Amino acid sequence: MTRSAKVDTIAYATLQDAELVGLARQGHREAFRHLMQRCNQRLFRIARGVVRDDAEAEDVVQEAYTHAFAKLSTFRDEASPATWLTRIVLNEAYGRLRQRRPSVDIDAITESQLQDHRVVAFPSRFGSEDPAAAAARGQVRRLLEEAIDALPEAFRIVFIMRDVEGCPIDETATALGIRPETVKTRLHRARRLLRAALQDSLSATLADAFPFLGPRCARMTEAVMARLEDIPQENPPC
C-alpha cells in the first residue's frame, strides 16, 4: 500500500485538534487542511477584529497558517492548537497594524468617551424569515458589525473572542497575554459601548457576524495548501 493510500484511509474528521497537529508533523498535509477548516472562522474573525478589513484579514490568516505549518515542531501541549494559532494570527495582525499607526493606550480612554456613541433604535424581534425579513436581518447584522468595528481595539478583540466566538476567559487571556481580570473588565466596557449604540434585541445576530464558511473558507484553505508545497518543515519527527 502506498503512503498516499494510507493517508486517504485516515478519518480526519473524527480526530482531536492535537491529533491533527501530530499527523501534520508527520507530513500528513491533509490533517493540516482539516485543522484549518475547523479554525478558519474563528481566526478570520479575530484577524478582522484587528485589521478591520475582510481582504487583509484573509491575508493575515493565510500568512499565519504558513508560519504555523513551518513551525509545527514548536507547538507544545500547554495550549490548544486553536489558541496557538490565535497567537500567531494576532502577532501577524498587530504587526501589520503597527506599520500603519502607533498603538493606543487603552487606559487613556476616558469615561466621557464611553458615552460619545450614537444610540440607534432597532426592532425588538425579527419575525418570520421571509425574503424581506432575511434582508432586514442582513442589514441589522451589518450594522452590528459596524458597531463592533467602532469599538476601541483592545475592547473589540476581547468582545469578538468572548461574545462572538465564545472563547473561555482563561483561553482569551492566554491568547492575548493579559490577566483574566483584564478580560472581564474590557468585555464589560465593550458591552457598555455596544449598548450605547444598539439595543439588546440584536444579541441574537452575534453568531452570524463576520461569516467565514462555505466558498470563502474552501478558497482560502486551498490557497494555503498550494503555498505549503514550497515550505519545508523544521525537524520533522522520524
- Same structural domain, 199 and 221: no
CA angle centred on 93, ends 13 and 159, rounded to 5°: 75
Write out the chain's pLDDT in tens, 238 residues.
444 444 458 899 999 999 999 999 998 999 999 999 999 999 999 999 999 999 999 999 999 999 999 999 889 877 899 999 999 999 999 999 888 765 444 444 334 333 433 333 333 344 445 565 666 677 777 888 888 998 999 999 999 999 999 999 999 999 999 999 999 999 999 999 988 877 654 555 666 777 777 888 898 999 999 999 888 776 665 5
Residue-number span of the structural domain to which 193 is assigned: 111-208
Judgement on whether residues 200 and 133 belong to the same structural domain of the protein: yes
Grid cell listed for 218? 474552501
Same domain, 90 and 179: no
Q: 203 and 221, same structural domain?
A: no
Do 61 and 139 fall into the same domain?
Answer: no
| Residue 44 within any structural domain of the chain | yes
On whether residue 94 sits in a domain, the answer given is yes
**Using CA atoms, how far apart are residues 207 and 156, in angstroms rounded to an integer?**
16
C-alpha cell at 134: 432575511
- Report the CATH number at residue 149: 1.10.10.10
Q: Are residue 156 and residue 192 in the same domain, yes or no?
A: yes
Looking at the structure, tell me whether residues 22 and 97 fall in a common domain: yes
Q: Please provide the size of the chain in residues.
A: 238
Is residue 135 included in any domain, yes or no?
yes
| 224 within a domain of the structure (yes/no) | yes
Instruction: Check which CATH number belongs to the domain holding 83 and give it.
Output: 1.10.1740.10
Query: Taking phi first (over 0 means left), then psi (-120 to 50 degrees means alpha), and beta for anything else, what does residue 31 get?
Result: alpha
Strands (E), 7-75: none
Spell out the SS3 assignment of 44-92: HHHHHHHHCCHHHHHHHHHHHHHHHHHCHHHCCCCCCHHHHHHHHHHHH
CA–CA separation, 34 and 20 (whole Å): 8
Q: Which H or E element spans position 34?
A: helix 29-51
Together in a domain, 32 and 77:
yes
Q: Enumerate helices (H) and strands (E) in the chain, giving the number of each.
A: 11, 0
Angle at 210 between CA 186 and CA 207, to 5 degrees: 75
Same domain (yes/no): 90, 43: yes
Q: What is the pLDDT of residue 111?
A: 41
Helices (H), the chain: 3-8, 17-25, 29-51, 54-70, 81-100, 111-114, 131-149, 153-159, 169-176, 180-197, 215-228
Residues 123 and 92 in one domain: no
What gap in Å lies between CA 137 and CA 122, rounded to an integer? 11
Q: What is the predicted pLDDT for the residue at 130? A: 55
Please give the Cα distance from 207 to 164 (Å, whole number). Answer: 6
Residues 32 and 97 in one domain: yes
Same structural domain, 17 and 94: yes
Alpha-carbon distances, residue 237 vs 11, 22, 114, 118, 228 (angstroms): 22, 10, 52, 56, 18
| SS3 category, 170 | helix
**CA pair distance 69, 46, nearest whole angstrom:** 19
Q: Indicate whether 234 belongs to any domain.
A: no
Instruction: Kindly state whether residue 164 falls inside one of the protein's structural domains.
Output: yes
What sign does the CA torsion over 177, 211, 119, 127 have?
A: negative
Domain count for the chain? 2
